[in-house]
Structure 1
């Protein structure tokens, strides 16, 4: 069975994130069905639906009527499925408090907690992260929210490790994102985690999401976090030794696994090889250096482990679709 992405909307839902999410998941399904990206064995193109608590249309933040497919039901939802909440039109602390007291949102909070207990991946962006917080699924985990509501979030949910410096945070299988249009980054991160990083990159390229100031293509790389501690260890090891190339045996020793076991775990979690994962991390760091420093392309190449600048340029273009110099010039 393909995984199902269920978009749960309430009255006051932000219009833009709903459309962006539908476009991203729809594009992912078309890319897979066209054979442009091969998914790992056993995974299929995603399905999606929009639901409300009672199955009735909702009024968006722009006061438009948004039709839905059905009422939210946990029947048929399980591990591998996604329940995602687009941001709501709650921009102040009093609006947050009033929103969480609404009967429809209170009922949603209860069902979200039950969905997470069933193994459903739950996610939210912007002020909808408060709904996840109220469900307690974020307790003991890290999360982000829209930056100006950070103090309100921290006060209301002291058991959550708040990271307002991050665009998207994955922690223990729960995804959160910052302001409303970070919902695009959130959906790409979910695609990368549940289906394939290559699929997320391809969708970002087709929808030109790499043009956005949030650097969605590279936010995907930052937030491919897996619940498997081996994946976290290899990411930490690679980023700690970003200035040099690492062998498979070195990465295996750092994660206390054999090369074969490491390869199997990375393939299962990320749909790629340990060497390619390390390469993507180095390219992501190169993007950061190109956009935030005046180091030459040759110096950036050396700082991320490429002694041969020509090889670095080839790999950078293959991974990002543009040259290092073009990336720097486009970001000004």
Structure 2
């Protein structure tokens, strides 16, 4: 059983997407489109609140639930998921963690984890999960612009805010807003079957994304530290070559130590990591919008050694450059075909080509 635990302020879109994804998975299995491993069943789901009462969503709508959260009968094989809350700032989240309903929810999450229930959260709800101490000593991700605040509040958690979904010791976390879709697909792959998760992505035309890196900086920086904005401008103007920390410091009128401190405070990473992510974001753009070779793209974003570029790209995005390009091509092709949603339709044919390692 997949149980969605919702609080007042739950984000409308991610919650709806989660219900659609699990519902599609159930229909895929019951239609016989995917054979499950022995002992696995079609997923079922329910939505609960801490007291069984409807909640108000982030947009002010009333959201009905199936009942109150109860742990009787829950154990290994069950899943407790916390959809993101419609909160975008650190003060909002700090205030939410003091709310009686969320304090009670934190206690329920901790108890569920001790019973062997798989627990998961996305976006700002990762703060609720971390408050339960379930993430202590584990790796996790959160929505990228809240990474520094998360790291400061929960120092016992190893944060990988560039990742879209992180699984660590059977606990799942995901990044911002519609990363909840990625979270649900990862949970389906883990608890039901990878084939089911893949089939759902194809029927619902979902984009499988391994990393938040390409989304992490440009729009958010407009309100950030001016030194970070200067650094972004300097790196993008010199995207074709590697830049030393001393050059970065001169360009931002700071010392290397001061620049490192300000970037760490603003983004939770080092200046070198920031520059690297800007390069990879540009590389993703070129892979998706041009036919240039991977070696040429590597050179255009400052990597004289294509092998080094491939290693960095895979570390930052979770996939190879070639796989990224092929996935983009397949996604565009499937979108053009506009496959019908699950209403007795046949499974779509497998892609003619598979991505090779890049």
Taking a change above 3 Å as real, the CA distance of residues 322 and 290 of structure 1, as seen in their structure-2 partners, is farther
Is 2:98 the partner of 1:68? no
Taking a change above 3 Å as real, the CA distance of residues 158 and 111 of structure 1, as seen in their structure-2 partners, is same
Look up the match of 1:16. Answer: 13
Q: Find 2:38's aligned residue among 37, 41, 56.
A: 41
Look up the match of 1:178. Answer: 175
Aligned residues: 239
Taking a change above 3 Å as real, the CA distance of residues 118 and 292 of structure 1, as seen in their structure-2 partners, is farther
Q: Find 2:146's aligned residue among 121, 139, 149.
A: 149
Is 2:92 the partner of 1:95? yes
- Structural RMSD (CA): 3.0
Query: Could you tell me how far 1:76 is from its partner in structure 2?
Result: 1.2
Q: What are structure 2's unaligned runs of at least 5 residues?
A: 212-283, 297-306, 311-325, 331-347
Q: 2 CA distance for matches of 1:71 and 1:194?
A: 23
Q: What are structure 1's unaligned runs of at least 5 residues?
A: 220-286, 305-312, 326-332
Q: Larger C-alpha radius of gyration, 1 or 2? A: 2
CA contact (8 A) 1:6 1:82 kept: yes
| Aligned residue runs from structure 1 range 152-231, under 5 A | 152-210=149-207, 215-216=208-209
Is 2:339 the partner of 1:321? no
Secondary structure in structure 2 of the residue aligned to 1:87: coil
CA contact (8 A) 1:25 1:46 kept: yes
Look up the match of 1:116. Answer: 113
CA contact (8 A) 1:177 1:186 kept: yes
Look up the match of 1:235. Answer: none
Q: 2 CA distance for matches of 1:7 and 1:65?
A: 16
CA contact (8 A) 1:92 1:149 kept: yes
Q: 1 CA distance for matches of 2:286 and 2:170?
A: 29
Secondary structure in structure 2 of the residue aligned to 1:108: helix
Q: 1 CA distance for matches of 2:73 and 2:32?
A: 27
Q: Encode CA deviations 1:274-303: one digit per residue, 9 max, x unaligned.
A: xxxxxxxxxxxxx9995498564999xxx9
CA contact (8 A) 1:290 1:324 kept: no
Secondary structure in structure 1 of the residue aligned to 2:119: strand
Query: Could you tell me how far 1:322 is from its partner in structure 2?
Result: 6.3
Length-normalised TM-score, structure 2: 0.62
Q: 1 CA distance for matches of 2:202 and 2:124?
A: 28
